[in-house]
Chain A
């Protein structure tokens, strides 16, 4: 299959260069680069295509940059796969984009677009997913944002579902960071809230985002109470109770929505039990306590 595709590409490339009136010597350079690429001699292919891209007669041809994209893509796979800041991947992307810009006849449009959408962009998404933990979340976000930028160039219709998946997971990571050390990691509460809210902006009926936002506020309210010393002044405690109550109230509509969307989810039922209990809403608590048991 790969062989057939390469033969086809070879024919297209030769024809394209001849038609555009490029001299034989320059055509040879690109064709040689292609032969090296086909023979998996990627370092040689790279030298040749780099030279061709600097030569004024071939650097204006979409086919030259298209081939450069292929060569750098293979080099990335071979040498830099998994490296979130891979220069070769960026070179491949830039080459396909340049090819698109130069491609007045739209001859390589589908090929360039497919490469960007199906070969380059997913590697950024996968890197973002692999790096998404409490240590590498910043690098993960960098990769996700690159993925997003790239997809917006070629196929914005696929962004929404990926955006929701990614921000749900990112919100969870921020939540864990916050809960691992609330005093030091206070900013992660806001970041987690923003991540889940972003998902709800895209899909207000997202069960996980509703549930997680409910839990985030509920935990904050509960912790506010639980971290108090027993001899806290009662006037000061009144204010703590007010803040805590506000957080429980904030949590309630999200958890209720999550329950409406999935009435059988045990975590949601447990969450509602906790919220109603903390708000002293006894009747509702008893109702959900029975469901939880």
Chain B
């Protein structure tokens, strides 16, 4: 009897494990948002050729991995996704979307300076950055991922934002 009880007890304690890929749901959430932004924003015609580049500055490896996964099954029109991680602005090429993570230590001005004249959707995740030049800034409200949209910041980079996106966003000016 005692032997059997021990088996049951051991089984019970180890039974509950994490489901595969459960540790970073936030990366999946951000990937869904980033992919959806491509449906609501129009890039200039010269950006509709070649790969659709999502650049990451200081982003977590799990976000990069999640976007890589997304890139294998999705596209923007005829453009395939290319996910590129950067550690500095000097090495940055043309990006359709640039996600700057809160861990990125490069001054924001330096990044926007590098992107002048380019059609890049700047996406950040730090309070106040939508007012300082980012078109989209991820925020958390009531334990939920939301985003701020500064339409004029998007337009400064030659991007057209669909009105329907403003209805889903927290609009800032």
Mark A residues whose CB is within 8 Å of B: 122, 125-126, 129-130, 132, 162, 165-166, 168-169, 171-173, 175-176, 179, 208, 211-212, 214-216, 218-219, 221-223, 225-226, 228, 230-232, 234-235, 237-238, 241-242, 244-245, 248-249, 267, 270-271, 274, 277-281
Q: Does residue B32 face the partner (Cβ distance < 8 Å to A)?
A: yes
Which residue of A216, A234, A278 contacts B26 across the interface (Cβ within 8 Å)? A278
Q: Does residue B107 face the partner (Cβ distance < 8 Å to A)?
A: no
Q: Does residue B4 face the partner (Cβ distance < 8 Å to A)?
A: yes
Q: 24 A-B Cβ contacts within 8 A?
A: A125-B1, A126-B4, A165-B8, A165-B9, A169-B11, A171-B15, A175-B16, A212-B12, A215-B16, A218-B18, A218-B22, A222-B18, A226-B19, A226-B21, A230-B70, A230-B73, A235-B168, A237-B36, A241-B29, A249-B143, A271-B18, A274-B22, A277-B23, A278-B26
Q: Which residues of B contact A242 (CB under 8 A)?
A: 144
Ordered nearest first, which 4 A-B pairs have the shortest CB separation?
A172-B15, A168-B12, A222-B22, A215-B16
- Is there contact, CB below 8 Å, between A244 and B25? yes
- Is there contact, CB below 8 Å, between A126 and B12? no
Chain A residue with Cβ nearest B15: A172
Q: How far is the CA of A122 from the CA of B25 in the complex (A)?
A: 45
Chain B residue with Cβ nearest A170: B12
Chain A residue with Cβ nearest B138: A280
- Is there contact, CB below 8 Å, between A173 and B21? no
Q: Which residues of A contact B168 (CB under 8 A)?
A: 234-235, 238
- Is there contact, CB below 8 Å, between A277 and B31? no
- Is there contact, CB below 8 Å, between B4 and A173? no
Q: Does residue B156 face the partner (Cβ distance < 8 Å to A)?
A: no
Most buried by B among A132, A218, A223, A230: A230
Q: Which of B4-49 contact A (CB under 8 A)?
A: 4-5, 7-9, 11-13, 15-19, 21-26, 28-29, 31-33, 35-36, 39
Q: Which residues of A contact B73 (CB under 8 A)?
A: 230
Q: Which residues of A contact B74 (CB under 8 A)?
A: 230-231
Q: Which residues of B contact A221 (CB under 8 A)?
A: 25
Q: Which residues of A contact B23 (CB under 8 A)?
A: 222, 274, 277
Chain A residue with Cβ nearest B24: A277
- Can you list, as one digit per residue, whether each of B77-104 has a CB less than 8 Å from chain A (1) or not (0)? 0000000000000000000000000000
Min CB gap B117→A, angstroms: 30
Which residue of A125, A176, A241 contacts B4 across the interface (Cβ within 8 Å)? A125
Q: How far is the CA of A83 from the CA of B98 in the complex (A)?
A: 65
Which residue of A166, A212, A223, A232 contacts B15 across the interface (Cβ within 8 Å)? A212
- Is there contact, CB below 8 Å, between B4 and A245? no
